[in-house]
């Protein structure tokens, strides 16, 4: 384990912001935010040119239970050229106003996930 260093005020403030954000997330969003998406194949096919003819490139879309989609553009050798996420069907998933969740702020997600699990176990 890395040595524990003192957190800056900015890090402490962001931790609290992320914790508040995580408190408001649905169960599925919190799972995806904390442990990563659970991708399932959605659709795949050849990329078509402007006139509708198939090219040598491929496109595959994956979808998670949280409704976030990931679309990958692959070359003819199936190497991923571009990968992008689509959050349009997952309102509230993005961290608008609090920025990216990185570093120690990820611990805020784990904290909320663990506290919810304990609360659910105690209620059962």
CB of 70 to Zn ion, least distance (A): 9
When asked if residue 101 is in the footprint of Zn ion (CB under 5 A), the reply is no
Using the minimum distance from each CB to Zn ion, give the nearer residue, 57 or 85. Answer: 85
Which of 18, 30, 62, 64 touches Zn ion by CB under 5 A?
A: 64
Using the minimum distance from each CB to Zn ion, give the nearer residue, 30 or 64. Answer: 64
Size of the site for Zn ion (CB under 5 A): 5
Nearest Cα to Cα of residue 15 among 103, 118, 122: 103
When asked if residue 30 is in the footprint of Zn ion (CB under 5 A), the reply is no
When asked if residue 37 is in the footprint of Zn ion (CB under 5 A), the reply is yes
When asked if residue 32 is in the footprint of Zn ion (CB under 5 A), the reply is yes
Which one of the spans 6-14, 16-24, 65-73, 107-115 is the region binding Zn ion (CB under 5 A)? 65-73
For the chain, first and last CA: distance in Å? 34
Unique residue bearing structure tokens 């995580």 = 22
Using the minimum distance from each CB to Zn ion, give the nearer residue, 3 or 36. Answer: 36
When asked if residue 113 is in the footprint of Zn ion (CB under 5 A), the reply is no
**DSSP string of the chain?**
-PPP-PPPHHHHHHHHHHHHHHHTS-HHHHHHHHH----EEEEEEEEE-TTS-EEEEEEEEEE-TTS-EEEEEE-TT--EEEEEEE-TTSTT-S-TTT----TTHHHHHHHHHHHHHHHHHHH-
Interface residue list for Zn ion (CB under 5 A): 32, 37, 64, 66, 68
């Amino acid at each position: 384990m890395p040595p524990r260093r003192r957190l800056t005020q900015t890090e402490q403030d962001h931790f609290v912001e992320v914790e508040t954000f995580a408190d408001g997330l649905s169960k599925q969003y919190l799972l995806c935010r904390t442990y990563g998406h659970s991708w399932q194949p959605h659709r795949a096919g050849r990329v078509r040119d402007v006139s509708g003819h198939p090219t040598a490139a491929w496109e595959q879309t994956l979808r998670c239970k949280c409704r976030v989609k990931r679309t990958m553009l692959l070359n003819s050798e199936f190497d991923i050229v571009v990968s992008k996420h689509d959050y349009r069907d997952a309102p509230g998933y993005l961290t608008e106003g609090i920025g990216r969740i990185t570093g120690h702020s990820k611990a805020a997600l784990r904290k909320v996930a663990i506290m919810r699990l304990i609360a659910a176990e105690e209620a059962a």
